[in-house]
Amino acid sequence: MTAAGLVRGLSAAMRWIGPVSVLLVAAVIGETAVVLDRVDDAVIVLLALLPVLGTSVALAVRPSLATMVVHLAVGLTIGSAYVALAVSFSAPLGQRAGYLVEGAAVALIFVGALSPRGVSGIGWILAGLGTGTLAIAFGSLIAGSAVRFSPDRVIDALIMIFAFAVVDIGWRRTGGRLPAFRDIARETRRADERRRRERSAAAVVHDTVLSDLAAIAHSDAVIDEGMRARIRADLQRLDDANATSTGTVSIVPREGSFGRALLELVEDYRWRGGRIDLVGTEHVHDDALAPPVAEALHAALAATLDNVRRHASAGHVEVTLGGDADRLTVLVVDDGHGFDINTIPTDRLGLRESIIGRMERAGGSARLWSSEGGTTVLLSAPRVPLGGAE
């Protein structure tokens, strides 16, 4: 919250204290009238108090220079008449009469600020304190009584002046802003963004360079034309890679559709000698996913199939597409030997970054179940809302 907001909030709360204080005085007048059996006199005193209550409410509802001036003018004129009546009415109370006599004057210090500056609040409080003091003095002279001032009004005024001073001086010392909090928040966002991009870049390297090197290592250093073509394609994809708004790194060409890229993954898996079935292609549309989400889902699926090919020793893989109006799901089930998810080292990027991390950064999710009978991977990605695709 800015200094102006703090001043406005403090002023609004303060202005409503004025009418409340007048109502409390009215309640005490009523109670005193019953105790002293002077109901008729109490009515006259209350009628003199009503104008001050009215201007207090008007100032709280519509604070402006006009209502402020009217409130202080009524407090000085009508307030003086109220004091003269209250002095006579409360005389039997002795020393306890001070609260009733100063009732209208108390309301004059709860005026708040007109401008979003603490100095404004301090100035108007002092004006209200001075006006109320004059009203008490004039009313006491009219009633022919000695002028007596209670320290309560001064204490209340000093407390409110201190509150405005703290806001104004504190804001000036910080240069009108909160640099520490803003800088910390900005640096935190930047650090989070750097971490997302670093993790995304690591996932891309894992899916391309590291994957190709692993394939070469398992092929007895024999590189056929198919492997050469894949290495060239991966190098080209790395050259074209770009960071997206979700913190993922895109390695899917912008041209073409997600459906076409999916079919290419399936064909590549078959070309490498694997048996794979694809079910539910009717769930894929060119505008079903936002480009960053489609890129993340494609890359996560590619990493999943690569893990199956390299580690699962699966005889058969089934890829099933499904979902609803909100999400597109891809279920990958293989009949390989499975693995214990909890034993995966933290430095292994294939599962943690290329699949789970990539989907989460794109607003989706990835879940895995594995046993001796095979592994199931469920990828879920948010669809573009109807009419939301550009």
List the pLDDT tens digit at each of the 390 positions of the chain. Answer: 566 677 778 888 888 988 998 899 889 888 888 888 888 888 998 998 899 999 999 999 998 999 999 999 999 999 899 988 988 888 887 777 778 888 888 888 888 888 877 888 899 999 999 999 999 999 889 988 888 888 888 888 898 888 888 877 766 665 444 445 456 566 777 776 676 666 656 655 555 655 666 566 555 556 666 667 666 766 666 565 555 544 444 444 444 577 788 888 888 888 777 899 988 877 777 567 888 888 888 888 888 888 888 888 888 999 999 888 888 999 999 998 888 877 776 656 567 777 888 888 888 999 999 888 899 999 999 987 644 444
Q: Domain ranges in the chain?
A: 3-173, 180-382
Q: Distance (Å, rounded) from C-alpha 237 to C-alpha 233?
A: 6
Q: Is 190 exposed, middle or buried, given 0-12, 13-18 or 19+ CB atoms closer than 10 A? A: exposed
Residue corresponding to tokens 């800015």: 2
Contact 172, 116 (CB under 8 A): no
Q: Distance (Å, rounded) from C-alpha 161 to C-alpha 166?
A: 9
Q: Which CATH superfamily is domain 180-382 in?
A: Histidine kinase-like ATPase, C-terminal domain (3.30.565.10)
Q: Distance (Å, rounded) from C-alpha 352 to C-alpha 312?
A: 17
Strands 317-323 and 276-279, sheet pairing: parallel
Q: Tell me if residue 76 falls in helix, strand or coil.
A: helix
Contact 111, 68 (CB under 8 A): yes
Contact 203, 349 (CB under 8 A): yes
C-alpha to C-alpha distances, 127 to 47, 75, 108, 137, 371, nearest whole angstrom: 25, 11, 8, 15, 81
C-alpha to C-alpha distances, 186 to 3, 179, 180, 189, nearest whole angstrom: 21, 10, 10, 5
pLDDT at 246: 47
The pTM for the full model equals 0.45
Distance separating the N- and C-terminal Cα atoms of the chain: 37
Contact 312, 374 (CB under 8 A): yes
Using alpha carbons only, what angle is made at residue 95 by residues 93 and 99, rounded to the nearest 5 degrees?
A: 80
